[in-house]
Amino acid sequence: MSVEEVLAACRQQDGGGGGAVPEPPAPAAQAAPPPEPTAAASKPAASAAKPAASGKKPGAMSVADMLAAARGEVSDDAAAPKPAGKKPAAKPAAKTKAAAPAAEAKQPVGPKDTMSILAAARGAAKPGPISKAEAAARAKESPAPKKEKPTAPPMPAKPDYAKVAPAPAVDQAERRGFLVACAAIFAGTFFVTSSLAIGFSSLAVTSLLWVLGTARFMFPNILAEPPTVFTVGFPDEYAPGQVVTKFKAQFGVWIVRYEYEGQAQIYALESVCTHLGCTPNWLDGEQKFKCPCHGTGYYKDGINFEGPAPRPLERFAIRVADDGQLEVDKSRKFKEEVGQWADLASYVSV
């Protein structure tokens, strides 16, 4: 039912208020003045609180009352006593027309609030704006579906061309032969390289020796010999009968303080055997010179007395130098067999 039909039905029930053409209801202030707030009106009175069906004028009915009358029952709001001072008796008819759509009349009969009526008028296919409480209730009724955890698709099978062929089995004998060949090649290389290294090293050493020998020829060949004139100390340093051998190794001479033909002398004997030129030794225990080559023996004064030597030892010239020391001159020799030991230069008297 449309709002006009609802209003017409209400007027018909009211008895004479309706017509063929519904007229917009006059404002409540014009249709009926609001009742005075009295004690009797504020009390819940069944006669005063009855809806339009029980005698209320159509112009003084509220939209809810008119809807309830259209449904054929009295709403709680209409049945409940209302204070006359708080709520006006009627609302503008135009507002009532707009608030009651035609679909409202087709709703099932029963108490409904304005939100329910509007929701029914909108229908399920056209949801409109909803309140927060309604949104919470909807969320409880139909919670959001849980998001399933995405799962990775299975790996595709590896193609044949990408598969690595297993390494062929290597024969142990073949591997051993390969290792032996490698070792032989390494040994041969080492031998060849070692031979080359030895050859080049020998060549380098030979070249160095040749260069050194050539350089040696650039210098004169000098024979380093001891001087022929040298000093052997003071005469007081020699005891009677003493044979000093410390100059034998360096100068080849013995310094002897002894007597010859009853005269005490200091003389220098050459340490060379008169047989074949060997070097005799002084034997202090036997008080003689002894040649190790053929056994010739000499007395302390140099006279040979045994062995193959044919003559006595020879003397060097000796004298007292300016500084008082004994000076030996090997450039001059004195032989006993020719009487040279009698020369004053062959001895120093003490």
- Contacts to ligand FES by CB under 6 A: 273, 275-276, 278, 291, 293-294, 296, 307-309
How many angstroms separate the CA atoms of 342 and 13, rounded? 202
Beta carbon of residue 309, minimum distance to ligand FES (angstroms, whole number): 5
Nearer to ligand FES, 188 or 292 (CB): 292
Nearer to ligand FES, 71 or 275 (CB): 275
Q: How far is CA 341 from each of CA 2, 160, 274, 332, rounded to the nearest angstrom?
A: 186, 124, 16, 12
Beta carbon of residue 272, minimum distance to ligand FES (angstroms, whole number): 9
Contacts of 111 (CB under 8 A, 6+ apart): 75, 76
- How do strand 253-260 and strand 263-270 relate by DSSP bridges? antiparallel
Beta carbon of residue 307, minimum distance to ligand FES (angstroms, whole number): 5
Pair 93, 25: CB distance under 8 Å: yes
Nearer to ligand FES, 108 or 277 (CB): 277
Beta carbon of residue 197, minimum distance to ligand FES (angstroms, whole number): 54
Beta carbon of residue 202, minimum distance to ligand FES (angstroms, whole number): 46
How many angstroms separate the CA atoms of 171 and 166, rounded? 15
Pair 307, 291: CB distance under 8 Å: yes
Nearer to ligand FES, 51 or 307 (CB): 307
Nearer to ligand FES, 14 or 301 (CB): 301
Letter string b/e over residues 261-286, b meaning 16 or more CB atoms within 10 A of that residue's CB: eeeebbbbbbbbbbbeebebebeeee
